[in-house]
Amino acid sequence: MTLLTILVPAYNEEESLPLLYERLRPVLESLRPKLQAEVIVLDNCSEDRTREVALALCSRDPAWRYVRYSKNFGYHGSLACGFDLAKGDALVVLAADLQEPPELLPKMVELWQAGADVVYGVLDKRRDDNVLKTIGAKIFYRIFYWLSDCDMPLYATDYRIISRRVVEVLRTMREPDRYLRGLVHWVGFKQVPVPYDRDRREHGESSAGIWVSTKWAFNAILCFTHKPLRAMAYFGGVIVLGAIVLALFFVWTRFFPLSFLPQPPIGTTAIALLILFAIGLNAMFLGIIGEYVGRIYNQGKQRPLYVIDETHNLGG
């Protein structure tokens, strides 16, 4: 019997989980008897009644499992645990907030059974309430596509079905600074897109506000490209070349003055501005280098990506 594991990352989703259960149940029923499913709720130490609601669903339906961490390890750390616990022949990442339609699952399963190793959702339309976040997401996808060393399609999302052999490869990747979408596309194999419309969040507020989303975007870019470092080298080379040309020009005009050129400004304002600009530029470049060095430092500590506090219905 083919088994499908559905990972549901959850943080403060007490109102959304029952709705997700009601929408997901007929979808999974339609896939039986050829396919059985297990649903693992990955509770990132929620502060509301998510635990109680999830445990009630586990008692109601033995196919539902529950994992709670000792603290909030972040979205990607939570998914790393789900990948380790999943027993299915394929794995699905489905958000608890119902912005991704569970009704799309049969089509994704069909494409996976037809030979695709990854079937990933691609946003056709998004109905987010935050206009700035929507615009920012479009800008990020363009920048990531341009900068990244990973060939990730535009507007791809985490909503996807992943075959067991891809899951096994992803489980070997233990870097603490993670970006799941990029990792999945970096692995390769046959990957097929499925367009869909993202709905508004049913209940509560997203924990991924503009600031958190910006941090995720910055992390994604640094995870999959070293082009900022290369750009710094190029820019430094241009500055050095310009300084050499300017020095030679000043030496030339010292001995052969040009009458049509104005006299250099009197005072230190221009010099002070140039010094401040150079200091700021150096600080920015050192900050970018520091981000990469910090990631090496985090990797070297080799701490676990997550710590589990309790589980239910997972068995041995």
Name the residue among 64, 96, 79 with its Cα closest to residue 203: 96
- Burial letters for 246-271: b for 16+ Cβ neighbours within 10 Å, e otherwise? eeeeeeeeeeeeeeeeeeeeeeeeee
Which pLDDT belongs to residue 274? 66
**Residue-wise pLDDT tens digits, 204-238:** 555 555 556 666 666 666 666 667 766 766 776 67
Name the residue among 39, 51, 33, 34 with its Cα closest to residue 8: 39
pLDDT over threshold 70, residue 183: yes
Q: Say which DSSP state 103 is in.
A: G
pLDDT over threshold 70, residue 177: yes
Residue 304 confidence class, pLDDT cut points 50, 70, 90: confident
pLDDT over threshold 80, residue 146: no
Cross-sheet strand order for the sheet of 35-43: 191-198, 118-126, 156-163, 90-93, 2-10, 35-43, 64-69, 308-312
3-state secondary structure of 166: helix
Q: How far apart are CA 210 and CA 180, in angstroms?
A: 19
Count Cα atoms within 13 angstroms, Cβ side, for 169: 14
Q: Where is mean pLDDT largest: 72-86, 114-128, 199-213?
A: 72-86
pLDDT over threshold 80, residue 97: yes
pLDDT over threshold 80, residue 60: yes
Residue 47 confidence class, pLDDT cut points 50, 70, 90: confident
Which amino acid, residue 193? P
Class of domain 2-130+155-205+304-312: alpha beta
**Backbone φ and ψ of 150, nearest 5°:** -100, 130
Residue 15 in tokens: 């109102």
Rounded to two decimals, the pTM is: 0.72
Which pLDDT belongs to residue 111? 93
Residue 1 confidence class, pLDDT cut points 50, 70, 90: confident
Q: Where is mean pLDDT largest: 180-184, 241-245, 266-270?
A: 180-184
- The ranges assigned to domains in the chain are 2-130+155-205+304-312
